[in-house]
Amino acid sequence: MSDAQAERDERRRRQLTDLHTRLTNAVEDLAHGDAWRRMLDIAARLPTYSPNNVLLITVQRPDAARVAGYQAWRAMGRHVRKGETGIAILAPCLYREPVTETATNAGPPPVAGDAVERGSQVLRGFRVVHVFDITQTEGPDLPPDPQLLVGHSPADLWTRLSALVATDGFVLERGPCGTANGYTRFDTATIRIRDDVDDLHAVKTLAHEIGHVRADHHTRFADTYHRSAGCRGLAEVEAESIAHIVLGATGVDTGVYSLPYIAGWSDGDSSLLRDTADHVVRVASRILREMEPALTEDTVTVGARELQTNQQSTVIGGLTR
């Protein structure tokens, strides 16, 4: 590598590190606000309802907009009004049962019959519980969820990112993604992006999914992503941070979506972002370098400057709009 190329790489690394630092600071600002603490409470306490329970809620209260249990509403600062009738749903009764399996982890070969004990949850049955719609409660307004990006993406950005997908041996699809905006399946080497969002959000989501691939989440969290909230949170923080930096380098501010998203998955712990900064910046830098010549050094510099200019309004917009 020539001295000139090494100098350009170092300059870009500093620029991307600066973008990540601003991202970390913005999340810290969120973490110290009342609105941010309420948002954390909502993310932690609002359950995810099964299709059967969605049907039960719809039958009993067709106009339901947002439901939670009595104690959950209290934790969010709202109170169920006296005389309100709860919505009956089914809650699973789970108990933990030790499971044994032959040890296959790296390290000394296990003795024949050696076992690793792992706790797993077993469904025992269901019980009836009651939840309440937000219209049955009183209290402070709830902060908004991350807002989908709207508008057109920079010219050729989707094409450049798509080329990286092919380079990594993945197939890119557009179509329904359930409740997600996109997902990556490592078993079939497929990345899918929902097809009913604006171009700008589709590009941001594509960068997020590429972040999962390039940050080696399929090997680092292969056995823990779906079983450990901490590992999944770390993976989501890294992937969204990479997307935020990659698009920020092109002048696109993803803050109204990325900041609440990252803040939620990091549980307000800004040290998590600092600990992953080097890895995130390295991955983002490599992505941008492989997207050249469409993304020149001047493009990255201008993008970083525009993102810095818009950062304050991003934080405010993500919380109050």
Specify burial of residue 140 (Cβ count, 10 A radius: 0-12, 13-18, 19+).
Answer: exposed
CA distances 247 to 131, 165, 262, 295, Å, are 40, 16, 15, 11
> For 164, what's the count of Cα atoms within 13 Å in the CB-facing half-sphere?
24
**What do you get for the CA distance between the two ends of the chain, in Å?**
48
110 Cβ neighbours under 8 A, 6+ residues apart: 102, 103, 104
pLDDT tens digits, one per residue of 192-210: 999 999 999 999 999 999 9
Residue 29: what pLDDT? 67
Tokens of 296: 């020149």
Tokens of 97: 């049962």
Mean pLDDT along residues 19-40? 63
pLDDT tier at 280 (50, 70, 90 boundaries)? very high
Q: Given a cut of 60, is residue 7 above it in pLDDT?
A: yes
Q: Given a cut of 80, is residue 51 above it in pLDDT?
A: no
Residue 18: what pLDDT? 72
Residue with tokens 């040290």: 271
Residue 120: what pLDDT? 45
Mean pLDDT along residues 30-44? 51
Q: Given a cut of 80, is residue 225 above it in pLDDT?
A: no
Lowest mean pLDDT among 58-67, 174-183, 244-253: 58-67
Residue 113: what pLDDT? 32
> For 204, what's the count of Cα atoms within 13 Å in the CB-facing half-sphere?
27
- Which one, of 160, 211, 222, 157, lies nearest residue 182 by Cα? 211
103 Cβ neighbours under 8 A, 6+ residues apart: 110, 114, 115, 116
Residue 21: what pLDDT? 77
- List, in sequence order, the alpha helices (H) in the chain: 3-31, 34-45, 51-60, 70-75, 157-167, 199-214, 217-220, 229-248, 255-265, 270-290, 297-320
Mean pLDDT along residues 36-50? 47
The pLDDT > 70 percentage for the chain reads: 65
Residue 114: what pLDDT? 29
DSSP code per residue over 215-232: TTHHHHTTTTTTT-HHHH
- Which one, of 168, 180, 126, 202, lies nearest residue 287 by Cα? 168
* DSSP bridge pairs for 185: 190
pLDDT tier at 318 (50, 70, 90 boundaries)? very low
pTM score, two decimals?
Answer: 0.60
| Top-ranked range on mean pLDDT: pick from 14-18, 139-143, 158-162, 296-300 | 158-162
Q: Given a cut of 70, is residue 236 above it in pLDDT?
A: yes
Residue 316: what pLDDT? 23
Residue 305: what pLDDT? 41
Mean pLDDT along residues 13-33? 70
Mean pLDDT along residues 74-82? 85
Domain ranges of the chain: 3-38+144-320, 42-105+122-138
Q: Given a cut of 60, is residue 115 above it in pLDDT?
A: no
| Top-ranked range on mean pLDDT: pick from 181-185, 230-234, 272-276 | 181-185
pLDDT tens digits, one per residue of 87-108: 887 776 655 555 443 333 333 3
Q: Cα 208–105–276 angle (5° rounding)?
A: 30
Residue 275: what pLDDT? 85
Q: Given a cut of 50, is residue 244 above it in pLDDT?
A: yes
Q: Give the chain's mean pLDDT.
A: 74
Q: How far apart are CA 211 and CA 36, in angstroms?
A: 25
Q: Given a cut of 60, is residue 119 above it in pLDDT?
A: no
